[in-house]
């Protein structure tokens, strides 16, 4: 009997989104203001760094006192190039899960 479909339609529960209210708006406002302050301070610090300060810079740098680690001497490039396949893999898995579930998969297991 469990495989028979009832002819009586069931009432669907209405899904309501919780309202954020004033607390949510204040929280987002504090977050945005804090983020903008952080961005401005970061840019100011980048622009006013120790560019050519004669007391702190070495005018005649010699060779590095140690060999490059694992044969690489440009680690920012290595990290950025290794991030590409990781990003493609993450988005590929999320796209595959979204296609499999026939709705957007937000990355929550």
Per-residue model confidence as pLDDT tens digits over 85-105: 999 999 999 899 888 988 887
User: What pLDDT is stored for residue 38 in this prediction?
Assistant: 96
Confidence of residue 40 (pLDDT cuts 50, 70, 90): very high
More confident position, 2 or 56: 56
User: What pLDDT is stored for residue 10 in this prediction?
Assistant: 59
The CA–CA distances, whole Å, from 32 to 27, 28, 62, 85, 91 equal 9, 6, 45, 31, 27
User: What pLDDT is stored for residue 81 in this prediction?
Assistant: 92
C-alpha count within 13 angstroms, C-beta hemisphere, residue 77:
3
Q: How far apart are CA 92 and CA 87, in angstroms?
A: 8
Is residue 14 scored above 70 in pLDDT?
no
Confidence of residue 67 (pLDDT cuts 50, 70, 90): confident
User: What pLDDT is stored for residue 9 in this prediction?
Assistant: 56
């Amino acid at each position: 009997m469990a495989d028979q479909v009832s002819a009586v339609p069931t009432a669907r529960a209405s899904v309501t989104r919780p309202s954020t209210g004033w607390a949510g708006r204040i929280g987002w406002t504090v977050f945005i203001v804090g983020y903008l302050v952080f961005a401005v301070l970061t840019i100011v610090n980048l622009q006013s760094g120790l560019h050519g300060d004669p007391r702190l810079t070495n005018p005649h740098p010699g060779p590095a006192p140690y060999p490059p680690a694992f044969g690489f001497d440009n680690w920012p490039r290595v990290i950025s190039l290794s991030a590409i396949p990781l990003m493609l893999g993450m988005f590929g898995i999320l796209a595959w899960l979204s296609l499999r579930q026939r709705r957007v998969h937000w990355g929550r297991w």
